Amino acid sequence: MAKDEKRISINALEKIAKEQFSTEVKERWFDIEVTIKRVLPLTEMIGFVNEVVDACILIDGCFHPEVMDFAVKSGILTHYANFTLPDNLEKQYWLIYQTDAADMVCRHIDTVQLREIVNAANRKIDYLCDSDAAAVKAKLDSILKALADAGDRMEEAFSNVSAEDLQRLASALAEGGLSEEKVVSAYMEQAARTGNEPAPEGAERA
């Protein structure tokens, strides 16, 4: 029987992580000290992904890929580094593309994790777009079925109505002379022809 494989302990792995891999980096950038995280913790990574997705799918529900690079650069500055960006998107866009702050931060971070964040955002956007398309198709199918059912009911309702009956009805409508009495009279005549004349009120059919 083969010996059990010796497992590496959590403590040993944690020791290597702390001693060999720095958690933060300090960078002087135009006389400003910038604190940069090499990697993001799990919850912050998920938040970064969701921010990119929300930025790319606007209020109209459409995917706007032209916003993605801007959203990613914004997240690099605010999640990996200690930059504060304005709420005004025009000003935020100008600050990001007018400086090399995002490139400076990227020189110190784990680019593998950043690439995974971008890939995750793309996959989530694909999923949301596919889900919306499926929901629209299901709604259209429901509408088409309702229309088909209504058509079947109309066909059944007029199955015993002759072309002559329809012509008289059309003439009455055109002349504006359609009244409740005429509708009842036409129904009684039609019922008599088909052998389904209704019994007088209060009486039972034979």
pLDDT at 189: 67
The span from the CA of 183 to the CA of 174, in Å, is 15
Mean pLDDT of 125-137: 71
Q: For 25-34, 47-56, 197-206, which range has the lowest pLDDT when averaged over its residues?
A: 197-206
Average pLDDT, rounded, for the chain: 80
Label residue 206 by pLDDT band (50, 70, 90): very low
The span from the CA of 80 to the CA of 50, in Å, is 15
- What value, to the nearest 5°, has the Cα angle with vertex 53 and ends 117 and 135? 125
pLDDT at 134: 56
Mean pLDDT of 97-105: 96
Q: Which residues contact 57 (CB under 8 A, 6 or more apart)?
A: 63, 64, 125, 128
Give me the half-sphere count of Cα atoms (radius 13 Å) on the Cβ side of residue 121.
28
What stretch of H or E contains 26? strand 24-29
Residue 34, strand partner residues: 27
Question: Residue written as tokens 């997705």?
Answer: 53
The span from the CA of 155 to the CA of 152, in Å, is 5
Residue 63, strand partner residues: 57
Give me the half-sphere count of Cα atoms (radius 13 Å) on the Cβ side of residue 38.
8
Provide the CA 191 distance to its chain's centre, in angstroms: 54
Closest CA to 76 of 30, 109, 99: 109
The span from the CA of 108 to the CA of 34, in Å, is 11
Label residue 92 by pLDDT band (50, 70, 90): very high
Residues constituting the chain: 206
Mean pLDDT of 178-190: 64
pLDDT at 57: 84
Q: Which phi and psi (to 5°) does residue 35 adopt?
A: -95, 125
For the chain, the structural domain boundaries read 14-136, 160-196
- Where b means 16+ CB within 10 Å and e means fewer, 153-167 reads eeeeeeeeeeeebee
pLDDT exceeds cutoff 70 at 93: yes
